[in-house]
Amino acid sequence: MTFLQATCLVVVALLGTLVVFTRDPLRQAAVTGIFGLGLAALFLAVQAPDVALSQIAIGAIVVPVLVLLAMAKIREHDE
Amino acid sequence: MRSFVALAALGVLGAVLVVAVTGLEPFGHYPGPYGDVLAKVVPDERHTGQLVAATVFDYRAFDTLGEEMILFAAVCGCAALLRVLRSEHAGEGAPGRPVPSFAARAMAAALVGPVTVLGVYVIVHGHLTPGGGFSGGVVVAGALLLAYAGGQGLRLRRVGSITLLEGTEALGAAGFLALALAGLIAAGTLLKNFLALGTSGMLLSAGTIPVGNVAVGLEVAGAVALVFAEFLEQALLEDPE
């Protein structure tokens, strides 16, 4: 395991913990996106660029947007 | 009591994880034969160095066909669930969405073109470089979302554009199915390559792989944009009260 791979693994573990301890869903959506980018860097470090690209597309585009839109709908109901 | 059960469950899970991880091959030691076999046969058989694309669109193409149909069915279900009922229509005085700021509009206008080109590039070069129909399709859908977020005139929620997205998704799914059946008709086996393989490294090479990538790209772009549009429509809807 190279230094880069080990660093990526540690960063992913830290970011994952951060996602769990972020309680506000709005902030969690943003932190999840950053966690997704860290995961993409890890995939790149273990020479899986295809998986990294899919991870960027899903983790940075689809998941945060869907969470935000769903939350917009929920807030509207709360008011 | 609850925390005791949770701790016990976590302990068991941790112990099982430790046992599982100690039984793994050492880091970087791939035990299975398939990767090595594919690395040997793909360049000759499919005239491409992109093993992942060759695996997805040839050696396990039937699985890909199944995945395409799963995505298609899932998005159909999502669209049916999120459809706007007649009683849900927004009234005349509905505020709709806030007008984007100048900075947001300028940013979106500057990025829509490059992001679209990037998405199309990732799709059509799927047999040469990492990427392909799935990631490229999501990027194209992201460009559409960018145009929506920064635009004033364009409205994804209009019924016409939703029909267009549904058509794009269906066209992609039907295209992949047609590619599968064309292999059956022209080469005698479902999903078998029937196009010229060309020179490895050229844009038009690797036979059916780029065609499959374009079909998947169309389907994924349509599917993701359709889910975005349906979610947006629901999020912007005013409650009839």
Helix H or strand E encompassing B8: helix B2-22
Question: What is the C-alpha separation between B174 and B181, in angstroms, rounded?
Answer: 10
Helix H or strand E encompassing B223: helix B208-236
Confidence band, pLDDT 50/70/90 cuts, at residue B88: low
CA distance A74 to chain B (A): 8
Q: Which of B130, B131, B145 faces A65 most closely, judged by CB atoms?
A: B145
Which range, of B8-12, B45-49, B89-93, B193-197, averages the lowest pLDDT? B89-93
- The CA radius of gyration of chain A, in Å to the nearest whole number, is 15
Question: What is the C-alpha separation between A4 and B181, in angstroms, rounded?
Answer: 45
B6 has pLDDT over 90: yes
Average pLDDT of the residues of chain A? 87
**Number of CB pairs < 8 Å for A and B?**
51
Which has more pLDDT, B113 or B30?
B113
pTM greater than 0.90: no
Q: Which chain B residues are Cβ-neighbours of A62 within 8 angstroms?
A: 138, 224
Cα B22-B27-B30 angle, rounded to 5 deg: 105
**ipTM score of the complex?**
0.82
B202 has pLDDT over 80: no
Residue to substitute from A2, A26, A50, A51, interface B, most B β-carbons within 10 A: A50
Mean pLDDT value of segment B61-90: 82
| Sign of the torsion formed by the C-alpha atoms of B119, B120, B121 and B125 | positive
Q: How far is CA B66 from CA B12, B57, B69, B192, in A?
A: 36, 12, 5, 16
Which range, of A70-79, B23-32, B43-52, averages the lowest pLDDT? A70-79
Q: Is B52 within 8 Å of A72 when comparing Cβ atoms?
A: no
Domain boundaries, chain B: 45-83+98-236
Q: Give Cα B108 distance to the centre of its chain.
A: 22
| Sign of the torsion formed by the C-alpha atoms of B16, B21, B25 and B29 | positive
Q: CB distance from B28 to chain A under 8 Å?
A: yes
Of residues B169, B186, B185, B191, the one with CA closest to residue B62: B191
pLDDT at B70: 92
Domain boundaries, chain A: 3-78
